[in-house]
């Protein structure tokens, strides 16, 4: 289970919510676009859709929506009907799944989709090669997604076969280079881009100039990355216990050129410097996993279990490490211990049970948080050498996300203050869950923690009812189940 942090390098994942908090009122599912996903409302089983797309030889683009999702309706009404979008969709197989009905339920679970709308570019083996969440009324972002998605879903064999058939074709050489760029393999892209420049020396086809620009960006980014990596590693060696050391080492070692021995040694140094904090050790576990420093991650996980007195969360993190190390028996044993510590109706039981099912499989599948860390680092390196002009996004979805992030952060601070005030009544409990309804005044509070003492429940109810909460955005429901931290242990966060 990922303990994602809000920091310079890792962004928040925001789950879309019903704007009015009601679950039983539904509008008609999206279906008015000129290009329909399928003749029938339900596209059918995902495996069949993937197979048909492979037979057709068309890139597969999948949308997940819900009937209550406002941005989904905005996408259908304002983006899909655009003529440029319709023209672009003619070159792909576009399938739309209602994530809460029919075959969309299983498809959404397979791809772990919980934000709407979400768009995926899926290859002929059913693997996601590109993902985008959210929408805006400007179709540019979707056109760019379709263009890049159509490229990345092609197999490397097919791309190279086309290159081999026409080795002197500048456009094919350029397209091959961009395929590697889209797959975050810039070093492999460089020779193909340089070949495109050579094949169109006078820029008669308009290929050489663009390919040369892309190649220059790759070389520039490589030079900058080498220098920045050296600076980050020097910082970690000098200040392994500093608050920035984890971020610095994450960026320097995820997909970096460090040897396995050096990577583990530096992460071990950071573990040792932070051995007294269970929450920091938990953070290190997932960052070290993202970097492939499995020995250091294991040490951090074991130390966290010792400090956190075998809480369900610490055992779950240690199980995640064993899973990454392909130690299936150990992963299942630790997850079973974690589940045994939770009541049958505990809010955290469902995500831990899902983790156990993932650990029981024969293949190793990283958790969402580890994947997000890798993706965030890759994107930051990708932008390092860019000289492209860009304006900050100010579309409706980005503003909604920023508002929700700010609200959740402010609310967590309020809950942390309440937890501190009630810590004396906590006994051995490290956290408590409460259902808080902010609609009435004062708020209605129900304590869901079965092991909470009457004194703790009384303290929490009184203080949560009197707390000063931040202004709630319209997209956030009034009712929510919130975690109140009572001691210094990392939070449980569902996938």
Q: What is the pLDDT of residues 360-412, one digit of tens each?
A: 988 888 888 888 888 888 877 877 766 665 444 444 445 566 667 778 888 88
pLDDT > 90 in the chain, percent: 41
Q: What's the pLDDT score for residue 1? A: 40
pLDDT band at residue 2 using 50, 70 and 90 as cut-offs: very low
Q: What's the pLDDT score for residue 57? A: 79
In what order do the strands lie in the sheet containing 93-98?
A: 93-98, 60-65, 118-122, 128-133
Q: Name, in order, each residue with C-beta under 8 angstroms of 288's C-beta and a sequence gap of 6 or more.
A: 267, 271, 294, 296, 297, 300
> Buried b vs exposed e over 86-104: b needs ≥16 C-beta within 10 Å?
eebbeebbbbbbbbbebbb
Pick the last residue of a domain from 382, 409, 431: 382
Tell whether 340 and 250 lie within a shared domain.
yes
Say yes or no to pLDDT of 135 above 90.
no
Q: For residue 292, is the peptide bond before it cis, meaning its omega torsion is within 30 degrees of 0?
A: no
Higher pLDDT, 75 or 475: 75
Q: What's CA 432's distance to the chain center, in Å?
A: 26
Instruction: Let me know if residue 492 belongs to a domain.
Output: no
Q: What's CA 431's distance to the chain center, in Å?
A: 25
d(C-alpha 483, C-alpha 435), whole Å: 9
Say yes or no to pLDDT of 19 above 90.
no
CB 124 within 8 A of CB 50: yes
Tell whether 56 and 141 lie within a shared domain.
yes
pLDDT band at residue 494 using 50, 70 and 90 as cut-offs: very low
Record the tokens describing residue 462, joined without a space.
């009184």
Tell whether 249 and 354 lie within a shared domain.
yes
Pick the last residue of a domain from 224, 253, 284: 224
Instruction: Let me know if residue 352 belongs to a domain.
Output: yes
Instruction: Let me know if residue 117 belongs to a domain.
Output: yes
Instruction: Let me know if residue 107 belongs to a domain.
Output: yes
Please count the structural domains in the chain. 4
**Overall pTM surpassing 0.85 (yes/no):** no
d(C-alpha 452, C-alpha 430), whole Å: 10
Tell whether 117 and 136 lie within a shared domain.
yes
pLDDT in tens, 211-252: 999 999 899 988 988 999 999 999 999 999 998 999 999 999
Tell whether 423 and 350 lie within a shared domain.
no
Determine the structural domain holding residue 440 and report its residue range.
Answer: 396-485
pLDDT band at residue 40 using 50, 70 and 90 as cut-offs: very low
Say yes or no to pLDDT of 346 above 50.
yes
Tell whether 478 and 345 lie within a shared domain.
no
Please report where in the chains the tokens 């995820």 appear, as a residue.
254
CB atoms within 10 A of CB 349: 16
d(C-alpha 155, C-alpha 124), whole Å: 8
Q: What's the pLDDT score for residue 79? A: 92
Instruction: Let me know if residue 31 belongs to a domain.
Output: no
CATH value at residue 339: 1.25.40.10
CATH value at residue 117: 3.40.30.10
Dihedral of the alpha carbons of 197, 201, 207, 213, in degrees to the nearest 10: 50
Tell whether 203 and 257 lie within a shared domain.
no
Q: CA dist 101 to 80, 138, 264, 272, Å?
A: 22, 28, 46, 49
Where does 77-227 show beta strands of DSSP type E?
Answer: 93-98, 118-122, 128-133
Q: What's the pLDDT score for residue 4? A: 33
Q: What is the DSSP string of 199-255?
A: HTTT-TTS-HHHHHHHHHHHHHHHHHHHHHHHHHHHHHHH-TTSTTHHHHHHHHHTT
Q: What's the pLDDT score for residue 407? A: 82
Say yes or no to pLDDT of 270 above 90.
yes
Instruction: Let me know if residue 327 belongs to a domain.
Output: yes
CB 149 within 8 A of CB 123: no
CB 406 within 8 A of CB 325: no
Instruction: Let me know if residue 410 belongs to a domain.
Output: yes
Tell whether 404 and 418 lie within a shared domain.
yes
Pick the last residue of a domain from 133, 152, 171: 152
Burial zone of 56 (CB within 10 Å; 0-12 exposed, 13-18 middle, 19+ buried): exposed
Tell whether 328 and 359 lie within a shared domain.
yes
Backbone angles phi, psi at 139, to 5 degrees: -75, -5
Tell whether 418 and 317 lie within a shared domain.
no
Say yes or no to pLDDT of 320 above 50.
yes
Average pLDDT, the chain: 82
Tell whether 243 and 362 lie within a shared domain.
yes
Instruction: Let me know if residue 414 belongs to a domain.
Output: yes
Tell whether 143 and 264 lie within a shared domain.
no
């Amino acid at each position: 289970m990922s303990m994602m942090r809000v920091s310079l390098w890792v962004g928040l994942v925001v789950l879309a919510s019903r704007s009015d908090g009601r679950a039983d009122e539904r509008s008609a599912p999206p279906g008015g676009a000129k290009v329909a996903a399928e003749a029938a409302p339900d596209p059918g089983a995902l495996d069949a859709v993937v197979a048909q797309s492979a037979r057709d030889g068309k890139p597969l683009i999948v949308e997940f929506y819900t009937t209550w999702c406002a941005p989904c309706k905005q996408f259908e009404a304002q983006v899909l009907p655009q003529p440029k979008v319709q023209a672009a969709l003619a070159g792909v197989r576009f399938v739309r799944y209602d994530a809460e009905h029919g075959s969309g339920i299983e498809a959404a679970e397979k791809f772990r989709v919980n934000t709407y709308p979400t768009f995926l570019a899926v290859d002929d083996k059913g693997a996601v090669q590109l993902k985008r969440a959210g929408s805006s009324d400007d179709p540019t972002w979707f056109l760019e997604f379709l263009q890049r998605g159509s490229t990345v879903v092609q197999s490397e064999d097919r791309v190279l076969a086309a290159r081999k058939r026409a080795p002197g074709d500048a456009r094919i050489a350029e397209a091959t280079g961009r395929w590697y760029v889209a797959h975050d393999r810039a070093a492999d892209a460089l020779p193909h881009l340089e070949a495109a420049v050579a094949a169109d020396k006078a820029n008669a086809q308009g290929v050489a100039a663009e390919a040369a620009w892309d190649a220059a960006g790759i070389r520039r980014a490589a030079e900058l990355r080498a220098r920045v990596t050296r600076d980050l590693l020097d910082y970690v060696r000098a200040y392994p216990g500093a608050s920035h050391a984890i971020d610095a080492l994450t960026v320097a070692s995820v997909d970096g050129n460090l040897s396995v021995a050096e990577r583990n040694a530096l992460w071990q140094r950071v573990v040792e410097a932070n051995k007294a904090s269970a929450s920091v050790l938990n953070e290190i576990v997932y960052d070290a996993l993202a970097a492939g420093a499995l020995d250091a991650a294991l040490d951090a996980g074991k130390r966290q279990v010792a400090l956190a007195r075998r809480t369900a969360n610490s055992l779950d993190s240690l199980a995640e490490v064993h899973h990454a190390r392909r130690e299936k028996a150990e992963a299942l044993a630790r997850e079973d211990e974690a589940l045994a510590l939770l009541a049958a109706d505990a809010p955290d039981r469902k995500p831990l049970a899902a983790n156990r099912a993932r650990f029981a499989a024969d293949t190793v599948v990283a958790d969402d948080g580890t994947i997000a860390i890798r993706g965030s680092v890759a994107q930051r390196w990708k932008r390092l050498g860019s000289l492209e002009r860009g304006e900050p996004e100010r579309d409706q979805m980005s503003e909604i996300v920023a508002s929700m992030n700010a609200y959740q952060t402010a609310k967590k601070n309020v809950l942390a203050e309440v937890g501190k005030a009630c810590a004396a009544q906590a006994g051995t409990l490290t956290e408590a869950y409460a259902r808080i309804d902010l609609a009435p005044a004062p708020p209605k509070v129900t304590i869901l923690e079965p092991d909470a003492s009457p004194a703790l429940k009384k303290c929490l109810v009184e203080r949560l009812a009197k707390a000063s909460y931040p202004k709630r955005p319209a997209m956030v429901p009034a009712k929510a189940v919130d975690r109140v931290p009572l001691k210094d242990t990392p939070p449980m966060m569902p996938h």
